[in-house]
A and B are shown apart, each in its own frame.
Chain A
């Protein structure tokens, strides 16, 4: 859910340990023709009635606390539900969505959310790609970089936000001090400047998610056959040419999957910006989730906030489809 996503912290993708790609376990039947990766391990007997006692302990919480709330949430979007109201909730059709259409504050937050999600995801991808290529080399400090990369990943988002408030602090923050030492002026109040707040929080978003993206891309890189590189080098291909013709094609499915997943997570993010700016100044960093949170739990507009959630789901679904395509491709390519 969203967070195992979050950080959980975003973690969910922790996935499938013990299954190193490319190494077929001994003694297994040859994988089938179609999508070998997916069928592996699922070739067992059909589920007998006796297996239900294995399934129910997880299935019940999932149904009651995840699937049902999700459906309920979608249904709420078509009602006038409010918190703490005494009269019954009424079904009001698409009224919430019509209101959303004319709510300039919502569109502002939607636009900011897209800027944030695109900015963070793109920068994260570009930096992580460069880093992954770098860490794939025989460099001396590589182990250090890999070890320290865990730090942002392990930190609670709230702490990441507090830490960067210290860095951005106008009076004695690291950033302004560094600028001062470099003779680049006296700095400014980054998080409360109308023009600087959004770029400032985007940098923090990039920082927080960079390690995961790098590790994922690095894994993809190490999955490309070395022989191809050597063959290409022998044929006289330069670095760029080898990247385009050998590295990138092998990396593309991973890149697509991780990028679409990052985009989804970023569009849904909350804690980081809540702590950094609370959505300010003047709503310049009010991401959709912050806006929906305020509507729901400050103003009690449950139905309206649920409608916002539905709009986000619609957007996210597009990228979820992209992610699934990337995943299937990744399976096929192996």
Chain B
């Protein structure tokens, strides 16, 4: 029952459109995966096939030898985990206040969440660079973590405020009637109910930081501090000139953690999107 319902030819047209969409969505990714497992001579051959004729792991070995991928992945992991934990830790109390209290602060914070999404990063990055420089935090993982923390705060606040609102206020009121103080109520009534939301928010913040490129590019100069996305760009040469196999292998490796995390929280994300999209 919906906007267009059809039989026969119309249905066939719908399936054709759906298949075209799936092809557009999936083929580039399959091409990447396929390239990652192809030996160099197959990649350079005029008419490569989808399935590698002679699959190999050489590209992965070569990629790991050419660039310090493991160290970069370690840096990304540290930055992303630290930023995610910090973001949830500082955002949860504020989200609680935003969801449960009415004040000018609530309006200001909500306004900031919306507006902060729209500003060109270049306006932010230069002063951030100067501030971190004064604090001697340019080119350090600590500096990057601080930037990622603030960067993931808007959506962490947004998600968490929704989760807090979903906890029935009556439960907290009941606890208060039973004599629990505010902190006690928060810790033993609200927090356990929030746990799934906290995990989803932290995972989302993790992926955000894991995938981030611009701040890492500007703020990290020494090779030993660089994160995975920055190191990945070292595989790029001029168009056509790059070493395609290792490039594909490294790109494939860098994507796996995000894909796994997204697969885990997919329902929460699309569900949250569904609620958020109407709101947002």
Contacts and interface: CB of A to CB of B under 8 A. Distances in A.
Contacts of A158: 211, 213, 229, 232-233, 251, 254
Contacts of B136: none
Contact of A51 (B5, B25, B97): B97
Contact of B123 (A13, A65, A67, A306): A306
B155 A13 contact: yes
Interface in B247-280: 247-248, 251, 254-255, 258-259, 261-263, 266, 268-280
B162 A61 contact: no
Interface in B194-214: 197, 200, 204, 207-208, 210-214
B48 to A, nearest CB: 5
A100 interface: no
B32 to A, nearest CB: 4
Given A54-B93, A174-B28, A302-B126, A46 B262 contact: no
Q: Chain A interface mostly helix, strand, loop or mixed? A: helix
B122 A305 contact: yes
Interface residues of B, number: 129
A58 B105 contact: no
B168 A15 contact: no
A167 B248 CA distance: 11
A136 B2 contact: yes
Contacts of B91: 58
A219 B278 CA distance: 7
Interface in B75-105: 89-91, 93-94, 96-97, 99-103, 105
Contacts of B180: none
A156 B27 contact: no
Interface string B107-146: 0000011111111111111111011000000000000001
A61 B150 contact: yes
19 contacts: A45-B102, A47-B103, A62-B153, A65-B146, A68-B127, A69-B131, A131-B21, A137-B14, A148-B26, A151-B259, A155-B258, A163-B248, A216-B280, A239-B3, A254-B277, A257-B277, A267-B120, A289-B122, A306-B122
Given A66-B124, A166-B35, 17 more contacts: A2-B117, A3-B117, A12-B158, A14-B159, A25-B168, A42-B99, A46-B103, A153-B262, A156-B232, A156-B255, A162-B235, A163-B32, A207-B24, A265-B117, A268-B121, A316-B118, A330-B279
